[in-house]
Each structure stands twice: as structure tokens, then as C-alpha cells.
Amino acid sequence: MNRVDELAQRLVQHVEQTAQRIAALHVHGAPSSAIQAHFSQLLKGKLGFREEVVLTPQEGLVTQARPDFIFTLDPGRGVLAEVERGGATTNNHDLKDLWKAHVAVDAQHLFLMVPKNNWRSDGSPREKPFPLVARRLGAFFGDPRREIDVVSVHVFGY
């Protein structure tokens, strides 16, 4: 967990230090690939995450799950990182990302980057995904009946 927390802290610092750049990229109609490329500079370029890697297949489970980023902590241990934009809650991408982490045999932690606001074409806020995602994913922790095979989830608002 210490290593995961260190990585999370570096990501928090990155979001804070590049907030103006992120705001310029996260505008109505902009491609989500621009946001992913921005986070790739830190995750892949400086922290050693790998990008767009298909997860290890499991017997009995047919999936070609491919997170945006993955970081290997130890053999069979790792962190998935997903960058969401418009569909974080409207298309349940946050829950799909949690499912990816749940079924991954080589990752037990999830970093999820979601917008604080999504925008309309006139520049006004359309929705606020960050608090909703934090609440939805938090529901999977704290009650043994709802627990999943994910040790930690860090939600980063940009």
C-alpha cells in the first residue's frame, strides 16, 4: 500500500501542478485522447506505467480487458489507471473500470481520473462526475457483503 500511496501522491501533485493545462484540454467537444495523453506524460513517461496492455486472461472468463495504463508492483500485483471524460457516469465507465480491476489477476488497485465537471457547448457545467463516482465506488468497500477483489480505489478529480 505504501508504494500505491506514493504513486497516488505523485498523481495528485501532477493534477495540481498542471490544472491550467488540463482545463485547456478538457473543453466541450475535445477528444478524450487528449486528456489520456496528458496523463500519459506522468504515468507512462515518469512513473513506469505501461499503456493499453491487454490483461492476463483467466480460465473461464472471456475478456480482452485493456486498461488505459497498468503498473506492476510485484508479480501478480499491480495498479490499473483509467482516464475518463464524458461517459464516466452516463455510460457507467467508472463501474466498468472497477470491474476490470476486480477481474484482473495481476492488479488489485485502481486509479480513476474523472472530471470535476463536464461542459455544455456554451461553457456551462453539464454534470459533476467526480463526487458521484467517489460515492458509487465507495459503496463497494466497508461491508463484507459488497466487497470485491480490489484492495484500493483512488479517484482523482481534474
Spatial separation of the C-alpha atoms in residues 6 and 139, rounded to whole Å: 24
pLDDT of residue 62: 60
pLDDT of residue 86: 83
Averages of pLDDT over each 10 residues, the chain, 158 residues: 97 97 92 94 97 79 82 96 90 94 93 93 89 95 89 97
Encode burial over 88-112: b for 16+ CB neighbours within 10 A, e otherwise.
bbeeebbeebbebbebbebbbbbbb
Please give the model's pTM, rounded to 2 decimal places: 0.92
pLDDT of residue 59: 64
pLDDT of residue 144: 86
Spatial separation of the C-alpha atoms in residues 118 and 125, rounded to whole Å: 6
pLDDT of residue 147: 83
Q: What does the DSSP assignment read for 6-42?
A: HHHHHHHHHHHHTHHHHHHHS-TT--HHHHHHHHHHH
Q: In angstroms, what CA-CA distances link 131 with 14, 46, 82?
A: 20, 28, 17
